[in-house]
């Protein structure tokens, strides 16, 4: 599968929750930011054949879920929020999700 056709997910990370949106499907959900939530995220990402995960750096709050998903074989991109303007136009939907 080429990168341009790859199903992606955006994760908005906060201290208590993870808000997830998966591209190409109307799937948005919220889970706790912790081990139980990571397991739920993993199950949904695998079920929807998602490979690329994008999230905003949030002072380390993203580290747990980012490392967990990387260890499970996902491509994870953590974006510095000060650099969001460099994203290509086709990524505009993700910018709206994570800003």
91 pLDDT band, cuts 50/70/90, is low
Whole-number pLDDT of residue 29: 93
pTM summary value: 0.77
Helix (H) or strand (E) holding 79: strand 75-79
**CA gyration radius for the chain?**
12
84 pLDDT band, cuts 50/70/90, is low
At 8-65, the pLDDT tens digits run 999 999 999 999 999 877 778 999 999 999 999 999 999 999 989 999 899 999 999 9
Whole-number pLDDT of residue 99: 47
Residue 67's SS3 state is helix
87 pLDDT band, cuts 50/70/90, is low
Contacts of 54 (CB under 8 A, 6+ apart): 8, 9, 10, 11, 77, 79, 91, 94, 98
Q: Which CATH class is domain 8-98?
A: alpha beta
């Amino acid at each position: 599968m080429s990168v341009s056709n790859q199903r992606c997910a955006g994760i908005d990370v906060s201290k208590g929750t993870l808000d997830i949106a998966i591209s190409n499907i109307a799937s948005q959900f919220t889970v706790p930011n912790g081990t139980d939530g990571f397991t739920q995220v993993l199950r949904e990402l695998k079920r929807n054949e998602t490979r690329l995960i994008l999230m905003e750096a949030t002072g380390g709050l993203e580290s747990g879920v980012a490392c967990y998903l990387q260890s499970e074989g996902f491509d994870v991109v953590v974006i510095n929020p000060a650099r969001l303007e460099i994203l290509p136009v086709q990524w505009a939907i993700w910018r709206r999700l994570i800003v």
